[in-house]
Every structure is written in structure tokens, then in C-alpha cells.
A and B are shown apart, each in its own frame.
Chain A
Amino acid sequence: DAKTTQPPSMDCAEGRAANLPCNHSTISGNEYVYWYRQIHSQGPQYIIHGLKNNETNEMASLIITEDRKSSTLILPHATLRDTAVYYCIVRVGTGGSYIPTFGRGTSLIVHP
């Protein structure tokens, strides 16, 4: 199973870019990298996903290294509401099904 490694915590000043790293050195060629975030006591929220190319949507940007062994989630202008736990996961295949497995994630604190 491809596993991910994230720093347990980070902080960022409001209005600045938040860059959250993730290592996934055992990722397979056909596995996607997903990012979710979880605000306290709520369900995780999908942010973005990618396979090889960099991706951008209204919430964030995802930069994946050429060897696909790591990625970075970028929140370009962090706000206080971005304070949450951010999870980087790889869709893990078991048999014919693909089960998302969540680790401990990175607790991001955005301060004024």
C-alpha cells in the first residue's frame, strides 16, 4: 500500500500562502494523490486531486514532483477559516476496490 508522510503541524499568517508538503515515495503509477481537510468535529472536505500534472481549482493548487514521490498543497491566500487538519492520501487498491485510508494529517493553524 502506498503510504503518505506529512508534518504533524504547521502555521501560517493570514493572507500568506500556506504550503503543505506530503511524501508518498511508494506511490504506484496509476494511483492518484488526494487532499482533504477536516475542520474541527466536521466531516472531511475534498480539496483537490491529481495524478501527474499540477492541478488548480478555486480552493487550492496541487504541485506533484516529476517522480511523483511527493506533492505540495498550496493555499494561495490563507484565511482564518483555513485552520484545519489537512490529509494527503493515495487511493489504495485492494482487490478490485479502492479504499481511501487517512493518516494523521497536518494540523494547519492560520493566525492573524
Chain B
Amino acid sequence: ETGVTQTPRHLVMGMTNKKSLKCEQHLGHNAMYWYKQSAKKPLELMFVYNFKEQTENNSVPSRFSPECPNSSHLFLHLHTLQPEDSALYLCASSQDGQGARNEKLFFGSGTQLSVL
């Protein structure tokens, strides 16, 4: 148990569906991250939020829409996805994503997304 909880654990959706991934951290951290991991590929950073403000958007298509209502919760809203978006989506948190060189990341177990 890392203190970072992701739901759902698995998700199957059609290309016309709208769904949301949820991440919650119970560690009192101020920075939260979304990563994408496609099959046999390295983790790709998608978004970073620090103190609820988005600080990084790694050229992610607009069909992925993040939301961070508070420092403990992070959502990834999905709409009109493509089959190539099928991947493991991982959420992580750290104490403070700005300027702290010795921070550890704590990851959730991920949501395995399949787009049909």
C-alpha cells in the first residue's frame, strides 16, 4: 500500500464514450502526476500538478483532460479516445514538485485502459 489509490483498476470503453480515471493520495503531498505506459514502452509523463496548479503538459492530446480539485485528488477525463490510447495509466504523488531535488514519487497501481 503506497498511499496512492487509483480507480477503476480496469476500464474498457468505446471510442465514443466519456469516462474518468480517479486518483487519491493520503500522504499529504502537494504534487500529483499522470503517466501513461503503453505496452513494452517506457513511462510517459502526461501532466503535473503542483498545489492544484498544472505545471506540466507534455503535449498531450486534448481528448485527455486533467482536473485537480485539491491537492489530494486528481482526475483524468477521457473522451473520444482511440484504440492506440489503450495503456496503463499511472498516478503518482510527491511532497512538492517544484525545486525539490530529492523527492520520492509514490505511485498508484494504475488503471489498465482498453479502448475498443
Contacts and interface: CB of A to CB of B under 8 A. Distances in A.
A68 interface: no
B101 A32 contact: yes
B98 A96 contact: yes
B72 interface: no
A97 B105 contact: no
Chain A interface bracket (under 10, 10 to 19, 20 to 34, 35 or more): 20 to 34
29 contacts: A31-B101, A32-B102, A36-B105, A43-B4, A43-B91, A43-B108, A43-B109, A43-B110, A44-B90, A44-B107, A45-B2, A46-B105, A49-B102, A91-B101, A91-B102, A91-B103, A94-B56, A96-B99, A97-B48, A97-B55, A97-B56, A97-B97, A97-B99, A98-B97, A98-B98, A98-B99, A98-B103, A102-B43, A103-B42
Interface in A98-112: 98-105
B88 interface: yes
B106 interface: yes
Chain B interface bracket (under 10, 10 to 19, 20 to 34, 35 or more): 20 to 34
Interface in A39-69: 41-46, 49, 51
Interface of A: 30-32, 34, 36, 41-46, 49, 51, 91, 93-94, 96-105
Contacts of A49: 102, 104
Contact of B98 (A30, A97, A101): A97
